[in-house]
Structure 1
Amino acid sequence: MKLPREFYRQDGISLAKALLGKVLVHHTAEGVTKGIIVETESYMGVIDAAAHSYKGKKDGRCNIQYNEGGYAYIYMIYGMYYCMNIVANEKDVPEVVLLRALEPLEGLSLMEQRRKTSKRKALLSGPGKLCQAMGIGKDNYGTDLCEDKLYVEDLAEAIDFEIEVSKRINIDYAGEARDYLWRFTIKDNPYVSVKMKTPS
């Protein structure tokens, strides 16, 4: 079942946890792809130095973050890879959840074609890889996830899992925010992008 608007109206940290074990679905002319969300990160808007909307920033790409929850915030990194975020919370509260990794569920051959690899664990293990495999790009910016093209649904049979909490990835520029424990993964899932470091 497709998730309703109300699901997305929770704060960015709660939403990042709640999205784990849900299924991202994308309908394209090439076919349908689906993956189970196994890794997320919260970006908490005006209070978060790692967030694009830090201190209330409102430029062109940030505008969609100020909508109510349930819209796609897509941006490009390194001039070549897209990343997909899901807008959280209520209107004018610019919190988002970055989707960092999926476990492939449907449309595997299409994902392999797009990624030019048959290594299943490498298909969706990172935000750029995820978008490439799922066919997500700039045209998906602002997509309403309550419609029928790009959306999140419940898994047919819910799975039990433990959530691991850790620091977010590649945000060393963000001062003390780089140490916030706002990355969430399904424990022991082989499809996460970066494995948890075990204490020595």
Structure 2
Amino acid sequence: MDNMKAIFNKETLELAKELLGMELVHDTAYGELAGKIVEVEAYKGPEDKAAHSFGGRRTTRTEVMYGEPGHVYMFLIYGMHHCFNVVSGPIGKPEAILVRAIEPTNGIAQMLLNRYGERSKYTKVHHRNLTNGPGKLCRALGLNMGHYGLPINQSEIQIRPYENLKESNIVAGPRVNIDYAEEHVDLPWRFSIRGNPYVS
């Protein structure tokens, strides 16, 4: 368990790339719901105009980011879509990594039910669109604000090794939907697995 906790004690951009290919797991009453992480975005705290903690903003919403790395930071967008983040950076330096997309690996039937309900025909189209976005993957995995602050790998939320990637398989580019971030809009802090169909 200590070894799994130690994976989060890394510089945020380095950790963001290392999360690619790892498996995000939610242990539920229906069994494990899981997917390989295929796309992430790094947010570098007080000096990053795209970060919720820009300028040292400290609120009830951002408080967990000021603590130890390796905890869950959840937030809502548009008041309805949950987003799952891994707290990173040293204590007192509020940084986080948004998981933007996963490739389903386990519990897919339940994930389809979570997303589409009983009407789902479980088609290949549904599979492709199941978890290719931050709100989609949270709905599929059953993640919500109740998971805010949980210690990863010491709770029902786990991130564990799954696939080793070469650096050449990682693509870097600008983050999405941060037009407000001025000169930080184009920072290449979104990382994804080259050619993966589940990238958002």
**TM-score normalised to the size of structure 2?**
0.92
User: Could you tell me which amino acid in structure 2 is paired with residue 140 of structure 1?
Assistant: H
Change in Cα spacing, 1:91 to 1:2, as seen in structure 2 (3 Å) is closer
Matched, 1:109 2:100: no
User: Could you tell me which amino acid in structure 1 is paired with residue 190 of structure 2?
Assistant: R
2:193 to 183, 186, 192: 186
- Paired residues of 1:11 and 1:95 also in contact (CA < 8 A): no
1:196 is matched with which residue? none
Identity %: 41
* Stretch deviating more after TM superposition (161-170 or 92-101): 161-170
Matched residues in 2 for 1:19 and 1:180: separation? 19
Consecutive unaligned residues in structure 1, runs of 5 or more:
194-200
**TM-score normalised to the size of structure 1?**
0.92
- Paired residues of 2:52 and 2:62 also in contact (CA < 8 A): yes
Q: Show the 5 A alignment for 1:78-93.
A: 78-93=78-93
CA shift at 1:110, angstroms? 0.5
1:138 to 140, 145, 149: 145
Matched, 1:20 2:20: yes
Give the secondary-structure state (helix, strand or coil) at the position aligned to 2:184: helix
- Paired residues of 1:2 and 1:146 also in contact (CA < 8 A): no
1:64 is matched with which residue? 64
- Paired residues of 2:4 and 2:160 also in contact (CA < 8 A): no
Consecutive unaligned residues in structure 2, runs of 5 or more:
none
* Deviation beyond 2 Å, 4+ runs, structure 1: 157-161
Matched residues in 2 for 1:4 and 1:153: separation? 7
* Stretch deviating more after TM superposition (123-132 or 9-18): 9-18
- Paired residues of 1:73 and 1:84 also in contact (CA < 8 A): yes
